[in-house]
Amino acid sequence: MLNLSLIWELTKRDFTEQFAGSALGMTWAVVFPVINLAIYTIVFGQVMGARLPGHSGVYAYGVYVTVGLVPWIAFQNSLSRSTSVFLEKKPIISKVRTSMPALLIYISLSESITFVITMSLFLLFLLLTGYSFRINLLLVPFIYFLQQLFAFGVGLLAATLNVFIRDFKQLIGIVLQLWFWFTPIVYVRDILPDAMKSLIRFNPAYVIIESYQRIFVFNAEPAYRTLIIMTVVTHLILFGSYAVFRALEKDVRDFL
């Protein structure tokens, strides 16, 4: 049974507890994204003089890094935190009647709040610097939803296995580190060897991140065929993870 009031309460508590006890309180929810955006755009673009091949704009590389890092952080945090959610929320699972997979929703929602705040500030920055917005910007919510749905599917499987193998959270952490560097976020795909260029097409994170980069940096349409394949793969993973959870649900509750 999906307890929506519980999910919403957990979401609010998870987001606000990040700033509990601080003098500025919720103001930090804006301060942190502003600082990060300044580092990505101004430091990389002007101070370090980094440039994006084929682009003369002073902020081009900063924008390239930003549109990769901001969604990646949301994806990484959602997947990493989902891995241990069953163990962390054991008191709630034992006392409140709710669907266990639904507990992953509050993590995604909490990370989405941060994503929306950061992206809103980023769009304001683009507007102030004369960026020319195109209609394909409307695809960003869908790409983000697909990214978080993928994180949910993988996270549900990881959360299930982590109940039986407590080292699984650390393993996911290592995988995410390697995954980050296998995804062109702080570097461009063109610097990779030809063999890596061919292999990277099978990286789901690359499909997602490249879609953001094509929209914001290269003023191009995302690769729709690849996004369709990614959508199908995401749903297969989601259904497969749920099937594994349902098969092991009784054992999961017993092991908690």
Average pLDDT value over all residues in the chain = 86
The CB-side HSE value for 192 (13 A sphere, CA atoms) comes to 17
For residue 103, which of 252, 254, 255 has the smallest C-alpha distance?
A: 252
- 86-111 confidence digits (pLDDT tens): 999 988 888 877 789 999 999 999 99
Structure tokens at 41: 């755009």
How many structural domains is the chain composed of? 1
Residues 6+ apart with CB under 8 A from 12: none
- 197-224 confidence digits (pLDDT tens): 889 989 999 999 999 999 998 888 999 9
Is the separation of the CB atoms in 156 and 101 below 8 Å?
Answer: yes
Residue with tokens 């193998």: 165
Structure tokens at 49: 């003089």
For residue 11, which of 64, 80, 78 has the smallest C-alpha distance?
A: 78
d(CA 15, CA 8): 11
pLDDT higher at 3 or 103: 103
The whole-model pTM stands at 0.90
Is the separation of the CB atoms in 71 and 111 below 8 Å?
Answer: no
d(CA 92, CA 13): 14
Q: What is the DSSP letter of 234?
A: H
Residue with tokens 């959870």: 245
Is the separation of the CB atoms in 164 and 255 below 8 Å?
Answer: yes
- 38-48 confidence digits (pLDDT tens): 777 676 666 54
- Its domain, for residue 49, covers 4-255
Residues 6+ apart with CB under 8 A from 147: 71, 74, 75, 208
- 172-181 confidence digits (pLDDT tens): 999 999 999 9
Q: What is the DSSP string of 163-205?
A: HH-TTHHHHHHHHHHHHHHTS-SSS-GGGS-HHHHHHGGG-HH
Band of pLDDT at residue 49, cut at 50, 70 and 90: very low
For residue 203, which of 147, 136, 119 has the smallest C-alpha distance?
A: 147
